[in-house]
Each structure stands twice: as structure tokens, then as C-alpha cells.
Structure 1
Amino acid sequence: MKKIVLSLVALVSFGLANAQMKERGVIEITPKIGTSSFAEYDDDGSTKSNSGVEFGVTTDYYFNNRWSLRSGLIFDKMGGKYENGDPFLWEDQLNYLSVPVNANWHFGSTRKWNLNFGLTPSFLLSAKVNDQKVPDNLIETFQLGLTFGIGYKIEITEKFGLLIDAQWFNGLTNINNGPDNRNITNGGFSFNLGGVIHL
């Protein structure tokens, strides 16, 4: 355990020592993978949350050393778990391709911290309930969400670093296209680890 703690301290110290300020036009690409937890929300409350794997790639285009525009392609598992008054549960398994469009504010003396916020359109790739396909007309194929997050970057070299971040998604549009006309939205968060490649 002591060796792990010392290694982490050394890694952070090395990253601080190699801090590089960004100029206009700098591009960073970040492949990342993480774990997510999502639920569905309606007027009566929320479902139990499900869990899944989130992965994809984001790109930051820097306007100066404080601000960048972040976008990319992210595979998200959303949906939720429903309880029927007894131990029986059924789970909506909704897989989306999300395209975040976020302003990203880099702060701290070495600009290693970031806060990002913006809108994310998501496109439904597949919909299942307990591994059974849902009819195509019951779930809207498009949703729009408000996204925000915080992250910390550890620079290993001038061209490569590690990003640890947490992201939140709040659905703004109804995903339900069923006959009951309920307003249902997705909401949840993910915790991710990525490799930052400075082009």
C-alpha cells in the first residue's frame, strides 16, 4: 500500500512539474472508459439506477489557456430498473451514442482542473427490456440533455497525460413514445479515466 501511495504522489508531482500552458489552436484527443449509473425520471419520481460501461473519445480545441470547446462521441448505457411491488425487477437497457458540445473551463495555477458544461444530443442505438428488444416506435430515437462535469489532468509528458473525470447528464426531452403519454427522461453520471493525447 505504501508503494502505491508513493507512486501516486510521484506521478502527481511529475505532472505538476511538467505543466504546459495551452495556446489558441491546441487540440487534445482523449480516449476514455468508465463506469456509469443511470435512472429514468417521471412525475412520480425515479426508477432504481442501473450500471454500465461508458466509453468513447472527446476532443478539446483550445481558444486560450483557460477555455476550450469539448466534443466527441460517447457510448452510453442509460435507462433504469423498475420494481413491481415484489422482488421482480425489469430493466430498461437503452444504448445511446452521445455527442457532447461543452464549454470547458481550465482552472488552477497549472490549469490541470477543468469544469465543463453544455448540451448533449444522444441518438438511440438499441432498446431492450430484460434483454428483449423493445418495439421501435415505443422509445424516441433522439434525446437532448444538459451535461456538466469536473476533471483533473495529470501530465506525464508534453504530449501525453491522464484525465480523471466525473460527468453528469440530465435529460431535457421526453424519451417515451408509448400510449401512456408519460414524460420520462434519463439522468445519471459516469466516472472515467482517459488518456490525453496532445496533437
Structure 2
Amino acid sequence: MKKILLSAIALLAFGFAEAQNREKGAIELIPQIGYSSANYYGEEDFDSNTISGVTFGVGADYFFNDRWSLRSGLHYQKMGAKGTGGYEEKLNYLTLPVNANWHFGSTRKWNLNFGPSFSMLMSAENNFGDIKDEANSFQLGLAYGIGYKIEVNEKFSILIDMQGITGLTEVPKESDFTLKNAYSSINVGGVFKL
């Protein structure tokens, strides 16, 4: 009886572990929302603080096998920084990441993603008004993140992840110093297997 019970438990555990595995050609759609934090970095020592906001969008994973997928999507992201004396710069981007996504762990519930991101500037303003004409309209960045899926059933999971972007292009069109975006977010989303 003990052997039968242990065999049944092992079979159930294997079934739950295999339920989240994705085969070649599987697609997951991931609407998500999160809390973001951004700041500038560069060669100068800026006296700036992080600016926070809400990020949202929809992602998608196309699976090549149970370990690798291509992760992309469209995300609305708030970047910029706060300066001394209440000065703020708020830059809103629409970002398209194109990331390799590695699914790891015995049940493939963890994922680690990395790759380029392409951001279009939607709006830019400071305390004095619109500064969109002074900022570059395109940002190339290095995107990276880690996440964990909580399975609800075979077709739906909840994803909790952390994402980051290091801007590789300058924020201002013209400047005597280097000024780039640094961005991070904590997100929650629903994972729908199509």
C-alpha cells in the first residue's frame, strides 16, 4: 500500500510539473501592470532622485521549446528624474522589448529574460512645460528581468516579475554631458496560453 501511495504522489507531482511546460510553437499572452522607478545616469555626478509611476502593457512569449522563448510586447513606461528644489522631468515611452526568455527550474516556472528594447518617446515635460523637442524621440536600451509563474490551471497562470532597462542612447538631443535612462519595475500579470 505504501508503494502504491508513493507511486501515485510521484505521478501527480510529475503531472503538475509537466502542466506548465510549453511545447514548440506555444504562445502566451501576458497583460500586466506594475510599479516603476526611474532615474538618470551618466558621466557627471547628478544630484537627482528616482521618479516613480505606473507601468502597463501586454507581453507575449513564443516558445521554441520548453526552455527558451522569444518575449516581446508593448509597454507604457514612465522615465525621467527628480532634481533639487522640486524640479522634475517626466518622459513617457512606448517600449517594444525583443528578449530571449530562458525558463528554468524543475517545473520551468522561473524565467530570466534579456535583450534589446526599442522605445519611442510619447511625451516629455518638466516643471516649466513641454520639452519633447529637446529630447531624443528614440531610445535603444538593454532590457533584462526575472519572473515566476504561479499556475492556476493549464491555460492560465499569474506572473510576478521584475524588469529593468539600461538606456544606451542619450536622453537630450544636444548636451555637453552623458545623460541616459535607468528604469526598473515590479509587475503582476495574467498569463494566457493560446
Give the structure-1-normalised TM-score.
0.86
Q: For 1:186 and 1:57, how far apart are their aligned partners in 2?
A: 22
Aligned twin of 2:69: 68
Asked whether the 8 Å contact 1:18–1:155 carries over to 2, the reply is no
Look up the equivalent residue of 1:41 and give its one-letter code. Y
**% identity of equivalent residues:** 52
Q: For 1:17 and 1:78, how far apart are their aligned partners in 2?
A: 38
Aligned twin of 1:9: none
Could you say what secondary structure the match of 1:137 adopts? helix
Q: Which moved more, 1:146-155 or 1:169-178?
A: 169-178
Aligned twin of 2:185: 190
Q: For 2:128 and 2:161, how far apart are their aligned partners in 1?
A: 30
Q: For 2:17 and 2:70, how far apart are their aligned partners in 1?
A: 26
1:140 pairs, out of 136, 140, 146, with 136
Q: Judging changes above 3 Å, is the alpha-carbon distance between structure 1 residues 89 and 62 closer, same or farther for their aligned structure 2 residues?
A: same
1:112 equivalenced with 2:109 (yes/no): yes
Q: Judging changes above 3 Å, is the alpha-carbon distance between structure 1 residues 58 and 131 closer, same or farther for their aligned structure 2 residues?
A: farther
Matches within 5 A, 1:25-104: 25-46=25-46, 47-83=48-84, 88-104=85-101
Q: Judging changes above 3 Å, is the alpha-carbon distance between structure 1 residues 169 and 45 closer, same or farther for their aligned structure 2 residues?
A: farther
Q: How big is the shift at 1:17?
A: 6.2
Q: For 1:120 and 1:37, how far apart are their aligned partners in 2?
A: 17
1:169 equivalenced with 2:187 (yes/no): no
Q: For 2:45 and 2:102, how far apart are their aligned partners in 1?
A: 33
Aligned twin of 2:149: 153
Look up the equivalent residue of 2:143 and give its one-letter code. T
Q: How many residues align?
A: 180
Q: For 1:166 and 1:115, how far apart are their aligned partners in 2?
A: 10
Q: For 1:45 and 1:169, how far apart are their aligned partners in 2?
A: 20
Could you say what secondary structure the match of 2:62 adopts? strand
Bigger Rg, structure 1 or 2: 2
Q: Judging changes above 3 Å, is the alpha-carbon distance between structure 1 residues 157 and 132 closer, same or farther for their aligned structure 2 residues?
A: same
Q: CA RMSD of the aligned region, Å?
A: 1.8
Q: For 1:42 and 1:21, how far apart are their aligned partners in 2?
A: 42
What do residues 12-51 of structure 1 show as CA deviations (whole Å, max 9, x unaligned)? x9xx567331100000000000000000112123421000
Q: For 1:131 and 1:32, how far apart are their aligned partners in 2?
A: 32
Look up the equivalent residue of 1:21 and give its one-letter code. N
Gaps of 5+ in 2: 1-12
Q: How big is the shift at 1:174?
A: 0.8
Q: For 1:181 and 1:44, how far apart are their aligned partners in 2?
A: 10
Gaps of 5+ in 1: 1-12
Q: Judging changes above 3 Å, is the alpha-carbon distance between structure 1 residues 191 and 131 closer, same or farther for their aligned structure 2 residues?
A: farther
Q: For 2:180 and 2:143, how far apart are their aligned partners in 1?
A: 14
What do residues 36-68 of structure 1 show as CA deviations (whole Å, max 9, x unaligned)? 000011212342100000100000000000000
Q: For 2:31 and 2:76, how far apart are their aligned partners in 1?
A: 12
